[in-house]
Structures are given as C-alpha cells and as structure tokens.
Amino acid sequence: MIKNSNNKRLGWVITGSGHFFEECLDIMSELGEFDLFVSKAAEEVIRMYRKKNAQFPKDTRIFKDTTASSAPVGFFYKNIYHTLVVAPATSNTIAKFVAGISDNLATNIFAQAGKCKVPCIVLACDTEPEHDTKAPSKMVKVYPRKIDLENTKKLKSFELTTVVSSVEDLKKVLKKI
Ligand SMILES: Cc1cc2nc3c(=O)[nH]c(=O)nc-3n(C[C@H](O)[C@H](O)[C@H](O)COP(=O)(O)O)c2cc1C
C-alpha cells in the first residue's frame, strides 16, 4: 500500500489540529515506510496530546518546518511520491490551500504535489456546522464558521484532491492506494 509497484512512496503532512490528531498518529504507526512532513503547530500539538513520543514505523523519514524555502519540496521534483495525505488538516491550512498560499512546509508540500500531479487526500477537520472534539484535557463542542465550511467545500473542487471528513473514510481511501 505505502510503496507502490513503481517503488514510489507515500507522503503525509500533519498539521496542528487536535481534532483527529491521535487517530492519525495511530494510523501512521501501522503504515509501512513513508515520509512525514510536520507543521510547526503540529510539533507543539503532538506534545499536548501524547504523553510520550509518537511511534512511527522504522524507516519513516520525518521533515520539520525549519527552512524558509520548505526545502523538502525538492523531493516532489524527483517524482518519488505516488500519493500525498494531509491529515488532520486545520482550518488554517485548508484556508491557505484554497487561497493558493505556500508560505510554510505544509502549504508548500500541498502546492508542489498539485503542480507535480501527485494525487492528494485531505482529512478536513471542519466539515460540519458543529462537532465534538478532544481538547488536550477534555471533550469540547466546536462550531466551525461559515468561512471554514466554505473553504473545505472549495477544496473538494481542486483537481486530483479527495477530501474526507472522517477517520473511517480516510482508512477506506488509504486501503485503495
Ligand atoms: C490544543 C490545540 C488544539 C487545536 N485543534 C485545532 C483543531 O482541531 N482544528 C483547527 O483548525 N485548529 C486547531 N488548533 C489551532 C491550530 O494549531 C492553529 O490554527 C495553527 O496556527 C495551525 O497551524 P498549521 O495549520 O500550520 O498546522 C489547535 C491548537 C491547539 C493548541
């Protein structure tokens, strides 16, 4: 699933969303070899939700957002990815995606994946007018705004982009790649 018949890899972008965060880490812990791109906010959020370090499969390559030019985007020019997953995707990251902004690692990876015609699967946090979410210490109810819901809807019209709204749907789509 993760390395396809052409020996291409899966790329995964993780952003700073508490919603779906732990579930995504669980999915990743069971994947084969893949490349993980971590937003600055995700680096902070991971420490709030996981008491100990997240476990990733051996050979996972992890890239943090440490360069102004988002240097790891260079991998996309080498044609090494068959699919990009962005999960979970914050409302911030989705707003930037639909506005065509590339000013950090997550947004640059998405933009370059699109420009290199790599299909992308995005697990959006804000797909319903209200949902329960896990804050670091307890469950809370949140009410995504009209702008957040509109941005998610706009992203669905992007070429080569599949937007999913649940962990179950993400797992189903991942099984097919
Ligand atoms: C504990 C915690 C939980 C958060 N959960 C969410 C969330 O579920 N959805 C969201 O859109 N933003 C959430 N945020 C806010 C984002 O981390 C913030 O908008 C950040 O700027 C996103 O950066 P990124 O999109 O580059 O990862 C959370 C922040 C914290 C501290």
Per-residue pLDDT of the chain (177 residues; tens, 9 = 90+): 466 767 899 999 999 999 999 999 999 998 888 999 999 999 999 888 875 667 788 889 999 999 999 999 999 999 999 999 999 999 999 999 999 999 999 999 999 999 999 999 999 999 999 999 988 889 999 999 999 999 999 999 999 999 999 999 999 999 999
So what's the pLDDT on residue 32? 85
Q: How far apart are CA 172 and CA 177, in angstroms?
A: 9
> Does residue 125's CB lie within 6 angstroms of at least one atom of ligand 1?
yes
Measured in Å, how far apart are the chain's first and last C-alpha atoms? 6
Q: What pLDDT score was predicted for residue 59?
A: 85
Q: State the pLDDT at residue 52.
A: 63
Q: In the prediction, which pLDDT does 56 show?
A: 84
Q: Which residue lies with its CA nearest to atom 14 of ligand 1?
A: 17
Q: Is 152 in the pocket of ligand 1 (CB under 6 A)?
A: no
CA distance 44 to 13: 15
- Token pair, residue 115, equals 């420009």
Return the closest-CA partner of residue 118 out of 66, 71, 170, 73. Answer: 73
3-class DSSP state for residue 135?
Answer: coil
Ligand 1 centroid distance, CA of 39 (Å): 10
Residue bearing tokens 């779906």: 20
Q: Is the CB of 92 under 6 A from ligand 1?
A: yes
Domain 9-175 is classified in which CATH homologous superfamily? Flavin prenyltransferase-like (3.40.50.1950)
Name the 3-class secondary structure at 162. Answer: strand
pLDDT of residue 42: 96
Q: Is the CB of 161 under 6 A from ligand 1?
A: no
